[in-house]
Chains A and B, each alone.
Chain A
């Protein structure tokens, strides 16, 4: 599994980067929705479960293990919240078919198959999409450092964040540029890319 680049993402979120977290949110939202709806069913409460799960991940970001799988953390939170909701449903609708179904859904959601899948969630595609969606702010941090020659401390002060966060943003930006270059074969495409990178730099300057 290509975990290359995921560690910096997890570290950045753990250090409090709202930009990176929000990128993760946009990249993972539809997948998490697919998961929750697939096991809870067509319940209007699903949206709350999804939102609450992302919120809980953000709130528990100090517990993130950067070497681990961030998706597994998120989906575990979502599974627990889904089970809580199904449990309430089973009680509220006791002795009806909906209540009975909620009970069966809990058993299916807590099945070992689901645990195995959650533990093995693929990161390759996620990493690629996160880096494709990296916001301008992150790239700007990189430019402040390499082009403007600001120190990490100066950047941190200017943006009102910690130096650690600046470090992570810069590693993410580096990964971004590196991935962009690796995706293309040598030749015109690379030159075109470099031109576009530098021209956006000019605009920001």
Chain B
């Protein structure tokens, strides 16, 4: 590729066919990417216009900030002007609150971090075109470009993975408890929340193994199986907990339905139900009726308001509850 061709690509002046071959060439090696980046950075940063806008009142922001006669008028004008722009957010709602509605993308050193806070769920595309659905309160960290011999990412929380097949370049998914998943081309669900005692892997198709980093022990599972690794609090040190594992037939529907907006409980112990409700709806649950924990719960919920779920818990377990903004009390 010549510098001229690269510059044309940067300026968007290539034909569809030329674009395709340029994209393929760029993805061939990190050196190619570096070369394009160098030319692009030089082209953009050394040609800044450095010109001031004239003082005419035609810019939205300008108008909002200076034309309001009284300070009280300002929020009203801002509201009107911004809602006019389709689904744009309100001025005041912007910074901290935007993360309540969106998957957050951040740079973490040279890596990219995707995070969901509260009740948010999101879909992420990895550099190799693998797709990951992220459940609530989860984070995924991946590099900008994968290495040629392995694809390394980190997951904290829960994700449903559709990994692009490449048997020569396995993907390693690190989780918070010193356990790693190794996959080559696979569809599976991995749940590794920091505040859960278990790591759960449900395999739909392909090949996966969980690796306990401490002793490099590899535990493979077959499609339609579920592997559950539990921390044993009595043995091992705090940093590298002892793990006990069980493999069982997977209840795929129950484990994976979250990705389609369906919350399924099948004879699930209440402590897990409570934790799932907290994450799913982004609420804090204060359980003041400890007898609740003696029960198992079975139910299906399809993107329903939390109220419906709480009503069902109320009638089936003979408890009551209060719901105030995002705080639930069960008593």
Contacts and interface: CB of A to CB of B under 8 A. Distances in A.
A59 B99 CA distance: 14
Contacts of A87: 105, 124-125
B95 A94 contact: no
A173 interface: no
A60 B20 CA distance: 40
Given A31-B48, A34-B47, A125-B50, A22 B37 contact: no
A165 to B, nearest CB: 14
Nearest to A114: B41
A42 interface: yes
A25 B19 contact: no
B49 A34 contact: yes
A39 B44 contact: yes
A62 B323 CA distance: 33
Contacts of B43: 38
B125 A90 contact: yes
A48 interface: yes
A117 B42 CA distance: 9
A150 interface: no
A97 B65 contact: no
B114 to A, nearest CB: 8
B215 interface: no
Interface stretch (A2-10, A100-108, A139-147, A176-184): A100-108
Interface in B1-23: 10, 12, 16, 19-20, 23
A84 interface: yes
Interface residues of B, number: 54
B110 A112 contact: yes
A35 B41 CA distance: 10
Interface string A1-39: 000000000000000001101100111011100110011
Interface of B: 10, 12, 16, 19-20, 23, 26-27, 33-34, 36-38, 40-41, 43-45, 47-55, 59-62, 65-66, 71, 85, 88, 91-92, 94-95, 102, 105-107, 110, 112, 123-125, 127, 129, 131, 144-145
B49 A160 contact: no
Q: Which of B47, B60, B95, B123 has the largest count of A CB atoms less than 10 A from its CB?
A: B95
Nearest to A35: B44
Contacts of B88: 48, 52
B19 A107 contact: no
Contacts of A133: 52, 55
Interface residues of A, number: 51
B37 A111 contact: yes
Contacts of B33: 104, 107-108, 111
B20 A97 contact: yes
Contacts of B10: 38
Contacts of B144: 106-107, 110-111
Interface in A111-158: 111-115, 117, 125, 129, 132-133
Given A27-B53, A160-B71, 16 more contacts: A26-B53, A26-B62, A31-B49, A31-B50, A39-B44, A51-B61, A55-B61, A87-B124, A97-B19, A104-B23, A104-B27, A108-B36, A110-B107, A111-B37, A112-B110, A114-B37
Interface of A: 18-19, 21-22, 25-27, 29-31, 34-35, 38-39, 41-42, 48, 51-52, 54-56, 59-60, 80, 83-84, 87, 90-91, 94, 97, 100-101, 103-104, 106-108, 110-115, 117, 125, 129, 132-133, 160
A114 B41 CA distance: 6
Contacts of A29: 53, 59
Contacts of B47: 34
Contacts of A48: 85, 88
Given A91-B125, A104-B23, A107-B145, A80 B61 contact: no
B284 to A, nearest CB: 26
Contacts of B91: 55, 59
A91 B27 CA distance: 18
